[in-house]
Amino acid sequence: MFHIALYQPEIPPNTGNIIRLCANTGAQLHIIHPAGFSLDDKQLRRAGLDYHEYASLREHADYTSFLSAMAPGRIFALSTKGTCAYHQARFLEGDIFLFGPETRGLPVTLRESLPAEQVLYLPMQTGSRSLNLANTAAIVLYEALRQTQFKSLR
């Protein structure tokens, strides 16, 4: 199983779409608080449709709690400031994909706490700021599933 971790997510529909992604792939979703919305948010529910009951979701009070719960898991952070393209990484079952808040990304200190080869980016046109959070999560998760030959999926 792979893990998607959202560090202080801000936009409910993105998280709802990621709930649906996790429900359909068997990935576990982690919400690292504080979040910019309640998990009962109407927009979150609408985007996740009826997939909430099929997704595995864990909440963490803060990043320190998340690290304790996930140790010794291997964390890959996604950032426009990454130094390694996502498709160059070699993923293993159990890997964690960490995404920052939509409006500001992951804090520098958090990114710098990881090995440079574990801070990934998605190639984009020069001058582009970023892709949508849910789209990025889907791209990276499906690359990891592809690399592991979709073992957990039919």
* pLDDT of amino acid 65: 97
In the chain the domains, ranked by start, together with CATH numbers, are 3-147 (3.40.1280.10)
Tokens 């808040």 correspond to 101
* pLDDT of amino acid 44: 60
Cα–Cα distance, 59 to 36 (Å, whole number): 14
* pLDDT of amino acid 50: 65
Burial pattern 18-44, b for ≥16 Cβ within 10 A else e, equals bbbbbbebebbbbbbbebebebebeeb
Q: Assign 41 to helix, strand or coil.
A: coil
> Which residues in the chain come in under a pLDDT of 50?
none
* pLDDT of amino acid 38: 79
* pLDDT of amino acid 48: 52
* pLDDT of amino acid 43: 62
Going through 3-74 in order, the beta strands assigned E by DSSP cover 3-7, 28-32, 56-60
Would you say 103 and 10 are in contact if contact means Cβ atoms under 8 Å apart? yes
* pLDDT of amino acid 51: 66
Give the rounded distance of the alpha carbon of 86 from its chain centre.
13
Would you say 85 and 122 are in contact if contact means Cβ atoms under 8 Å apart? yes
* pLDDT of amino acid 52: 66
